[in-house]
Each structure stands twice: as structure tokens, then as C-alpha cells.
Amino acid sequence: MEFNQDLIKKTGSSLKELALDAAGFDPLCAPLDLAACTVAVIPVTAGQGTIKGFSEALCAIATYLGFPAFITETSDVAGLVEAYQSAATIVLMADDHLYVAINLKTRRVAGNDEATAKGYTAALRRMAGGLTGKEILLIGLGPLGTYAAQALLQEDSGLIIHDLVREKETALLKSCTREEQQRITPGLSLEQALSRTHLIFDASPGAAFISAASLPTDAIISAPGLPLGLDATAAQKFADRLIHEPLQIGTAVMLFQALQRKHFSAGDVSPYS
């Protein structure tokens, strides 16, 4: 997979290494028996309907990581029945609001927003050669950005939070502990924020609002937000220090989280996010 080569060049890690780390697996622990964990991808027709190539992309990512994987022949409820009857370990499925991996044997659920936030945080850490004690600009405080704030704060770094809706900055700050609040800077304009740090996490749904000229020359950008916040010129100029793709990292982290024994609370996946 070409994407993997690109990731290794930028982060020094493969998709699998990065995702195992982001999912909380110790690199020294016994290797996982992925051959025993079949992944079933279930096409979902609800809402806007199936997206051409979506199930195929998820299946390709799972296969690439070493999981036996297939797309169910039927969709929706029938597809879920098919997954159970074929003894799949993990199902992947998404509607317009929620994309999840569910481990049918352990009941472990992994949501795309949290997994993507963790994966892109690990990617930023690797591109930057560590984040401890540094300051990161997080743009966009929607569901993904909120998980990103949690993941980035775990890095013992400072965090500048920026959202066009200022109330979201206030709300996030309120939800944090005292110790975390002391590491968070809200209320800066994008221009002010970009003049303070070169480490950027773009979790915003805004398109092309960051120009090449507004970025520090040594900018490093982890950008799971769709579409990309950088304009075309900026994306080209910073291509070597920019990670932006729609599915691979989040899906890889979800699959490994679904194999974690650790219990995650139901609050980790909200159907309303």
C-alpha cells in the first residue's frame, strides 16, 4: 500500500505499528493472532445509502493489516446476521453519523472519532519527535476535535484550542481538570495561534482556510478533518510534513481497539456525535 510507505517516510512507523500504539498495545507484548480474527464489513443502506467503494476500502485496510476480511453479501440487518453466522470476530459498519468496529465475541466497541483522534495524535507525536512540553494548536472542536483534545492532553503538552464557535472553546475548557486547564490556551485568533506553534492538529470541517503564507515554515500538520483546512498551495508546500487521509488510520486503530481487553465505557461512543 502506497499510503504505508508515505506514512513510514513521515513518521518512521508503519500503519500497523502506529495503530497498535494508538490502540494502547505495548510493542513488546505477545504478537496478536490476527489470523484468528476475521473482520466482516457490513454495507449499510440507511440515510444517504451505501457509498461506492467504502466497504471495499475498509476490507482492503483490514486485509492489509493481516486480518482475514470479507464484505457481507447482504447489507444492514441481514449483513449482521451473515457476520454472526460466519463466526466473524469483528464487524465494521457505518451510517451517516457513526462508524464503529464491534467485537462480536467480547462486546468491545470502538468508535471512529476517538480512534482517529488517537491515531492522528500518535502520528503527530512521531512526526514531531515527541510532544512532551511542546504546544499544539488544535483547530475544530466537534466530536473528533473533542476526542483529539483528550488524546493531545495525554501527551503532557500545551494545547491551544481554536474553534469558530467560541462557546465550544469555553465548553471544552470547562470539561477539563484544573491541571489540564492550566495547559490550555483558548481565545486566540487563528493568526495569533499559528504564530505561536508549528505543531498543528486540524480536526475542522472547514476547507482551505489555511494558506501557505500563514503557516510557520517548519509546520507539522496532522489533519484528519475533512475536507483539509490547508489550501492546495499549502498542502503541496507542506506535503512532506502533512498527514491527511480519510480512512486508513482511524480504521486501523478501531480494529486494534476492538481487540483490546480493557473495558471502555459506553460513553466512548455516542450515537449523537
Instruction: Determine which residue in the list 59, 92, 94, 258 makes contact with ligand 2YJ, applying CB under 6 A.
Output: 94
Choose between 112 and 157: whose C-beta lies nearer to ligand 2YJ. 112
Partner from ligand 2YJ, Mg ion, none contacting 50, C-beta within 5 to 8 A by type: ligand 2YJ
Q: Applying CB under 6 A, which part among 2-10, 95-103, 167-175, 198-206 lies near ligand 2YJ?
A: 95-103
Partner from ligand 2YJ, Mg ion, none contacting 229, C-beta within 5 to 8 A by type: Mg ion
Partner from Mg ion, ligand 2YJ, none contacting 82, C-beta within 5 to 8 A by type: none
CB of 142 to Mg ion, least distance (A): 10
Query: Segment 31-90, which members bind ligand 2YJ (CB under 6 A)?
Result: 43-44, 50-51, 54-55
Residue nearest to Mg ion (CB): 225
Partner from ligand 2YJ, Mg ion, none contacting 204, C-beta within 5 to 8 A by type: Mg ion
Choose between 143 and 158: whose C-beta lies nearer to ligand 2YJ. 143
Partner from ligand 2YJ, Mg ion, none contacting 99, C-beta within 5 to 8 A by type: ligand 2YJ
HEC profile of the chain: CHHHHHHHHHHCCCHHHHHHHHCCCCCCCCCCCHHHCCEEECCCCCCCCCCCCHHHHHHHHHHHHCCCEEECCCCHHHHHHHHHHCCCCEEEEECCCCEEEEECCCCCEEEHHHHHHHHHHHHHHHHHCCCCCCEEEEECCCHHHHHHHHHHHCCCCEEEEECCCHHHHHHHHHCCCHHHHCCEECCCCHHHHHCCCCEEEECCCCCCCECCCCCCCCCEEECCCCCCCECHHHHHHCHHHEECCCCHHHHHHHHHHCCCCCCCCHHHCCCCC
